[in-house]
A and B are shown apart, each in its own frame.
Chain A
Amino acid sequence: MEKDLISKKELLELTGISYGQLYRWKRKNLIPEEWFIKKSTFTGQETFFPKDRILDRIEKIKNMKGDVSLDDLADMLSPNLMETVLEREKLVERNIVSKTTMDFYIEEKGETEKFAFEKMLYLYILDKMFESGIINFEEGKIILTLLDEQYPKFKGKGGELLFLRKLGISSCCLVSSVCDIYFEDSMKIIERLNLSDLIEELKIKMT
């Protein structure tokens, strides 16, 4: 699944951070263990990282570390769900979820005043997909049902949400992070969302 890798040395040159900083961030769990990929090269073992993700992460850390402590930052970046609960109005007011998506959710699940982080995540995912226009309300329903029933099993682990369509019939599935998945030709992957990235985005939006 990982396409582009960057070596540790290149990474430090490119971002201007030192070894000390990198190790410190690793200790504080700002950079997930799975991103450290060991490979043998002619100079012995070297460490590589998934390029886009690590560059993005380091940019984020550099931008935010002035305002937030490293420990708080680690909470924000980890795929673990937060304990926060937000009211319905707040979510719409702060533009985390659009009114349309909220109404859709209420219609499906009934009146809800307070949203736990998990539910917020579902809303956020739906919102994103509705907004991009790739799914309709009918398809929103199956995604919501899938998330509602299956996502709790994923707790704390990253994963991906795949939205598929074959001959006009749509379907969706949740897969855990490290896995290759192949489909036959007529199956189209319409959308592929990385859940840890979404959790991260949502956490940043909330603070």
Chain B
Amino acid sequence: MVIFMKKHIADLKINGSGSSAGGKYNSVLVNGSGRIDGDLDCDYMKINGQCTVNGKVKVNSMKVHGNSLIKGNLEVEKAKIHGTADIKGNVSVENAETYGSVSVDGDCNAEIFKIEGTFAIEGLLNAGELELSLYGPSRAHEIGGEKIIVKKKGKYHFFGLKNLIMQGSSKGLKTETIEGDEIYLENTQAKVVRGNNIELGPGCEIELVEYKDNFKQDEKAEVGTQRKI
């Protein structure tokens, strides 16, 4: 375990395996496995490998390659996650991209949020621009925002193979309600979808659609009731 500290606001580096009590840092770098027992406030955070934070995290820019587990709230301007992120509190972020799997036990607020992979959000997913490319079953309690796009699987077809073998097992996105201005959905199961312009692609099962301006529906989409308001 090696921990270097320098400057007035110190950097925290964990190479190998180590732990820290948290606090205020300029940058936090974890190569290997780290554990932070307390709240973390820093400008830049990078995790290569695995890191657990037993507290809340406030950071300007964050990069994760590997696993991260945050027991408290996460507040971040810019986040890029390759791998998994598991947040037990609420998330608030300006601009986030995740490749892999994300789970949030609370609410998630984002201006721009791009997810490739899978996600599970127990509360409300509230985003200005939301782009979800799903590789497997995902869920959110509610989704709201300005522009919401949900697509079945992304550009790589590696996971597509799994879908081929376990056909019908993954159902894409499952949620109670989706509300937004512009909505495009594929492979989505929802009770209610409300918005100005709504387009449903293949694989959607929606109980109730309420739209203001336009509504388009793929022939492979199932809709219970649709209403123009």
Contacts and interface: CB of A to CB of B under 8 A. Distances in A.
B194 A19 contact: yes
A60 interface: no
Contact of B181 (A13, A20, A26, A27): A20
A19 B111 CA distance: 15
State the majority secondary structure of interface residues on A.
helix
B191 A44 contact: yes
B192 A44 contact: yes
Interface string A171-194: 000000000000000000000000
B161 interface: no
Nearest to B144: A23
B145 A20 contact: yes
Contact of A19 (B128, B191, B195): B195
B91 to A, nearest CB: 12
Contact of A45 (B126, B176, B210): B176
A43 interface: yes
The dominant DSSP class at the B interface is strand
A27 B109 contact: yes
Contacts of A19: 144-145, 179-181, 194-196
A153 to B, nearest CB: 24
Nearest to A8: B179
Interface string A19-47: 11111101100000000000000011100
Interface of A: 9, 13, 18-24, 26-27, 43-45
25 contacts: A9-B194, A9-B229, A13-B229, A18-B146, A18-B181, A19-B145, A19-B179, A19-B180, A19-B194, A19-B196, A20-B128, A20-B147, A20-B180, A22-B144, A23-B127, A23-B145, A23-B179, A24-B145, A26-B126, A26-B144, A27-B109, A27-B126, A43-B191, A43-B208, A45-B177
